Structure 1
Amino acid sequence: MKTSYFILIFICIPATLRTNDNLPNCKDALRDCLRQEVVWTRCFEDRITICIPKARKPIPNFYRWSVNSSNKAEESTDSGHRVHIPAHALQRSKRNDSNSTDYVHITMAVLNSSLFKLGPVRGSRSGEVLGQSVLAVRVGDHSVRDLDQPVRITFRNTNVTERGTCVFWKDSENKNGEGDWSSGGCNTTLIHGEFVCSCNHLSFFAVLVNSKLSVDPVNAANLGYISYIGSLFSVVFTTVTLVMYTCLRKGRFEQSISIHVQLTGALLFLHLSYLLSEWWVWHEADGAEGRVCLTFGLMLHWALLSTFTWLAIEGFHLYMLLVRVFNIYVRKYLLKLSLVGWGIPTATVMACRFSGVYGIHSFHMMGANNGSSTDICWISSATDSHGVVVSYVTVSGYLGLVFLFNTAILGVVVVKLWGQRGKGRMWKDWATVLGLSCVLGVPWGLAFCTYGPLSLPGLYLFSIFNCFQGVFLFLWFLALSRKGRPEHSSVKDSSSQKMETNFN
């Protein structure tokens, strides 16, 4: 009897080991599914159901436990997600297993939203995935849907926004690995600063947030037309300005005009890069992401930084002309300004290039009942935290510094004009102040007015003033060219004349 018992043990143990060896390792489930030519989300759901955690240490972002199907289940993750599954859902997961035990396995996995590829045709839901975090929930061996008592999933509100929508991943019918986010069967509630998703099924869950803009489709189309038309006009007029400067440079031009021309060149690059980026995304709608889009994104970022830098140089030069007017001489002044104006943007974008932040960026504009998104080759809006940091530092932060500096310089100019002309004649100088405001890029500060209750008027004003900035600079260049002629030299301010002589 003992001999038969030991023989049975030696037969059963190796068989059990062989069975476990054939089961996939939970640690490799995601990697294996991504390598296969199948819809990876369905493969992953099946794998995490039957896989075995073979590692001694806990698998990061992977959770599994067993509960009695007659009780509710609650669990939380290290990322701050909490899941509440009612007993009704647990019992539904084993409805076809009459011989199974009363216990069911619950599996959860936290995934990065960059794994989920949106198809070219977007649904009515658009936005950024909250925290770039997607929660996969699986109960038992069967799909669970059409529940009478919903499953509750809580997401920590890391973006501190009150606008969010609970969604789940819906694979495309083409079975090409693409899909879209859908809110069907899910309700969204904001409780104590956290998003609570109540859904009647189990799937891959996330929260889409849109803390940027909220524009209805009609205004979005109008803003698009203003941007395209304004950029086209700016390209034409900045080109004319550069041609005029090239043809007339034999005459004695002031250093100020040379700086204006370099700012005009930066604006020409900016509007050309914008139009090319938009055209490329429209032309290659199904596969815009690539080296060409990366290059256009880098060019657009470089042109924008160059424009901001030359706007700051305009303010610095105006400060030198009107404030420090006594015995100032700067050797190779224009050359040094050029090194700063083109060198800082070049060094910045080269550093960003190695960080891999360029790619497709989606601007989400949502109306009351539907929504849309506009893509452009720019700093990628995919789940890459570096892109968010780069955008805030090199665009919003840099613009804020330039705007504050140039606004202060413009204030000094107004005070000086007020003191020289007197209050009664100030109205005659408003044209000069408005021209200087354009040259100093003060309208760019409207970018900070595109949030809150005045966001829509701010967007229209921002688009009009900045998209047509090339036209305004052309007019300013004409005015300065006429004043630069000898017969008009008498209208110049004496302090300006002295400073221009020292610099030339």
Structure 2
Amino acid sequence: MKTSYLTLIFICIPATLSTSVHLPNCKDALEDCLHQEEPWTRCYEDRISRCIQRTRIPIPNFYRWSVNSSNKAEAGMDSGHRVHIPAHALQRSKRNDSHTTDYVHITVAVLNSSLFKLGPVRGYRSGEVLRQSVLAVRVGDHGVSDLDQPVRIAFRNTNVTERGTCVSWEDSEINKGEGDWSSEGCNTTLIRGEFVCSCNHLSFFAVLVNSKLSVDPVNAAVLGYISYIGSSFSVVFTTVSLVMYTCLRKGSSEQSIGIHMHLTGALLFLHLSYLLSEWWVWHEADGAEGRVCLAFGLMLHWALLSTFTWLAIEGFNLYMLLVRVFNIYVRKYLLKLSLFGWGIPTVTVVACGFSGVYGRHSFYMKGANNGSSTDICWISSAPDSHGVVVSYVTVSGYLGLVFLFNTAMLGVVVVKLWGQRGKGRMWKDWATVLGLSCVLGVPWGLAFCTYGPLSLPGLYLFSIFNCFQGVFLFLWFLAFLHNGRPERPSVKDSSSQKMMETNLN
């Protein structure tokens, strides 16, 4: 009898040791899965369900405990997250399990959001993840979905002004290792400073925050296509405009047309750098944080500031033609404007470049049931950068000043047309006013209408008018050529009426 007991002991001990040796170590589960050919998320879910802790030293951001499957489970983590799993979910997991014990183990891991690679899905991807924290929740050894009673995960919200959407990770069926966030099966509730995610499945969970635009995925995709198509057309037509100006107006001393061509060149750089930035992030997602993305972000910022500056110069030139008509001559006028138009943006972006504000930025768009955004090489949205301040000062603030000044200049044109052509003929000048509105960049003011209840119509109008601005300037240039080159009036015989007709032509 003793011999048989000893035999069983010596048989069972090696078998137990062999099983333990082949079980993965929880500490190395993430690193091992990141080097697998299959999607690392699926590998990691399987590993943390079967792994063992070979040492008594706690693993950072890794939690495991066992509970009775007939009771609900609730626990808080040192990271500030809380997980509530109803008994229904535990029993579902128990029915999928081959073990006969009444207990089931729960595993929760807190991961960094940078591990999740976003694929180029419709050009729109996930936005900023709250505190860059993603929770992997696993019950038992099998997946659990379609729960009647939802699992609740609480994320601490330290900024009460942030709006968030609960999402879970979905692997891409096309590109392995990539995926996207989806809010399908999850509801979001803000309770006492916490985002509470109620989901009917177990997966990798996160909260997308900093939503400034309210756009559903369909409209977001349409806006993306408008941007790409409009920018592509603008690149083509601005290039044609510059070639035509070089061939047909070579040696011309007309300063207004020269200013128009500088603005056209700035728009060419703007749309070209935008398309290149989007292309780089799309095809080089892993390297979007490198020096190339920094260079694209700097170039896009410089082109945008140059466009704003030349729009302001257009307004200033209009002021000189319509208001200071008897004192228009300025020595080397176009050269001085060129130094200002290209110099101010260059100095600004060089200063911003030394401060390290350029990099990858996520423009987050949130709909009712899903979240998406577009990533672009621009002013970095990283929390440790000064990107927010730089963006508000050099983009929003600068655009606001240019918009107010040029709108005032457009008002001066309307008043002069009203006074010189009569009220009855004002409707015939709508083309002139619309053309000047485009040249002065008045549609850029629609950027301030992309918030609030009119955000969606404002976004469509902003995208259409500004993405196709290069096309509109080309039509304006053709209209100028059609009217013929106006005579340049001298200082002695110039009059308000003649100067008015010269400029508006």
TM-score (norm 1): 0.68
Distance across 2 between alignment mates of 1:115 and 1:211: 25
The answer to whether the aligner puts 1:459 opposite 2:459 as a matched pair is yes
Count of aligned residue pairs for this structure pair = 465
User: Would the aligned equivalents of 1:113 and 1:129 in 2 still touch at CA under 8 Å?
Assistant: no
- Provide the C-alpha distance between the structure 1 equivalents of 2:306 and 2:35, rounded to a whole number of angstroms: 42
Q: Does the alignment pair 1:248 with 2:245?
A: no
Instruction: Report if aligned partners of 1:129, 1:206 keep a CA contact under 8 Å in 2.
Output: no
Q: Give CA-to-partner distance per residue, 1:166-208, whole Å, 9 cap, x none.
A: 4433445679333444556545555567543333443212345
Structure 2 regions of 5+ residues with no counterpart?
1-12, 501-505
Distance 1:156 1:139 in 2: 22
Question: What percentage of residue pairs aligned between the two structures are identical?
Answer: 52
Counterpart in the other structure of 1:439:
439
Alpha-carbon distance in structure 1 between the residues aligned to 2:292 and 2:83? 43
Residue in structure 2 matched with residue 310 of structure 1 by the alignment: 310
**Alignment correspondent of 1:7:** none
Residues 10-29 of structure 1: CA deviation (Å, up to 9, x unaligned):
xx9xx99xx89x97363x54
Once structures 1 and 2 are overlaid, which stretch shifts more, 323-332 or 478-487?
323-332
Select between 328-337 and 128-137 the one with higher mean Cα deviation: 328-337
Work out whether residues 119 and 125 of structure 2, in 8 Å CA contact, stay in contact via their aligned partners in 1: no
Residue 84 of structure 1, CA deviation:
1.0
Residue 482 of structure 1: aligned partner: 485
Question: What does residue 8 of structure 2 align with?
Answer: none
Looking at structure 2, the residues matched to 38 and 460 of structure 1 have their Cα atoms a distance apart, in angstroms, of 40
Amino acid at match of 1:336: L
Displacement after TM superposition at 1:291 (Å):
8.4
Runs of 5+ consecutive residues of structure 1 not aligned to the other structure: 1-11, 498-504
Aligned to 1:224: 225
- Indicate conservation of the 8 Å contact 2:125/2:375, yes or no: no
Structure 1 residue 486: Cα displacement:
3.9
Give the CA deviation at 1:267: 0.9
The Cα shift of 1:443 comes to 0.8
| Structure 1 match to 2:5 | none
Q: Does 1:128 align with 2:130?
A: no
Distance in 2, matches of 1:62 and 1:303, equals: 46
Provide closer, same or farther for how the CA distance between residues 245 and 47 of structure 1 changes in structure 2, counting only shifts above 3 A.
Answer: same
Q: Which residue of 2 aligns with 1:169?
A: 169
Contact 1:234 1:468 in 2 (8 A): no
Counterpart residue number, 1:394 = 391
Contact 1:217 1:365 in 2 (8 A): no
Superposed CA offset, 1:206-242 (max 9, x none)? 3456652425748954883586257525632553245
| Match of residue 10 from structure 2 | none
Q: Which aligned pairs between 1:291-302 and structure 2 lie closer than 5 A?
A: 299-302=299-302
Displacement after TM superposition at 1:89 (Å): 3.9
Of 401, 405, 429, which aligns to 1:408? 405
Q: Contact (CA 8 Å) 1:70, 1:91: kept in 2 or not? A: yes
2:503 counterpart residue number: none
The 2-side partners of 1:375 and 1:279 are apart by 12
Report the 3-state secondary structure (helix = DSSP H, G, I; strand = E; otherwise coil) of the residue aligned with 1:357.
strand
Aligned twin of 1:205: 205
Per-residue CA deviation, residues 233-253 of structure 1 (Å, 9 max, x unaligned), is 563255324542565352433
1:343, CA displacement in angstroms? 1.3
Q: Which residue of 2 aligns with 1:337?
A: 340
Match of residue 7 from structure 2: none
**Which residue number in structure 2 is paired with residue 50 of structure 1?**
52
Distance 1:378 1:113 in 2: 19
Q: Does 1:153 align with 2:126?
A: no
Residue aligned with 2:109, SS: strand
Q: Distance in 1 between matches of 2:492 and 2:432?
A: 16
Aligned to 2:114: 114
Residue 6 of structure 1: aligned partner: none
Q: 1:457 to 1:422 in 2, by over 3 A?
A: same
Distance 1:96 1:43 in 2: 20
Q: What corresponds to 1:5 in structure 2?
A: none
Spell out, residue by residue over 1:341-370, the C-alpha distance to the aligned partner (whole angstroms, 9 max, x if none). 551465267458x666248x687686x89x
The secondary structure found in structure 2 opposite 1:50 is: coil
CA apart distance, 1:340: 1.8
Alignment RMSD? 5.3
Q: Is the 8 A contact 1:294 1:377 kept in 2?
A: no
Report SS of the residue matched to 1:51: coil
Match of 1:107, SS state, is strand
TM-score computed with the length of structure 2 as normaliser: 0.68
Deviating more after overlay: 316-325 vs 184-193 = 316-325
Native 8 Å contact 1:235 1:272 kept in 2: no
Q: 1:129 to 1:65 in 2, by over 3 A?
A: farther
Asked whether the equivalents of residues 152 and 196 of structure 1 are also in contact (C-alpha less than 8 Å), the reply is yes
Contact 1:161 1:211 in 2 (8 A): no
Q: Are the equivalent residues in 2 in contact too, given 1:234–1:469 (CA < 8 A)?
A: no
The 8 Å contact of residues 358 and 378 in structure 1, kept in 2 or not, is answered as yes
Taking structure 1 as reference, are residues 199 and 252 closer, same or farther at Cα in structure 2, changes over 3 Å only? closer
Contact 2:62 2:109 in 1 (8 A): yes
SS in 1 for 2:176: coil
Q: 1:298 to 1:239 in 2, by over 3 A?
A: farther
- Pair 184,98 (structure 1): closer, same or farther in 2 beyond 3 Å: same
Distance 2:68 2:371 in 1: 44
Question: 2: CA distance between counterparts of 1:467 and 1:391?
Answer: 24
Judged with a 3 Å threshold, the aligned counterparts in structure 2 of structure 1 residues 96 and 385 are, in CA distance, closer, same or farther, namely: same
Please state how far the C-alpha of 1:457 moved relative to its aligned partner.
3.0
- Per the TM alignment, residue 462 of structure 1 is displaced from its structure 2 partner at its CA by 2.0
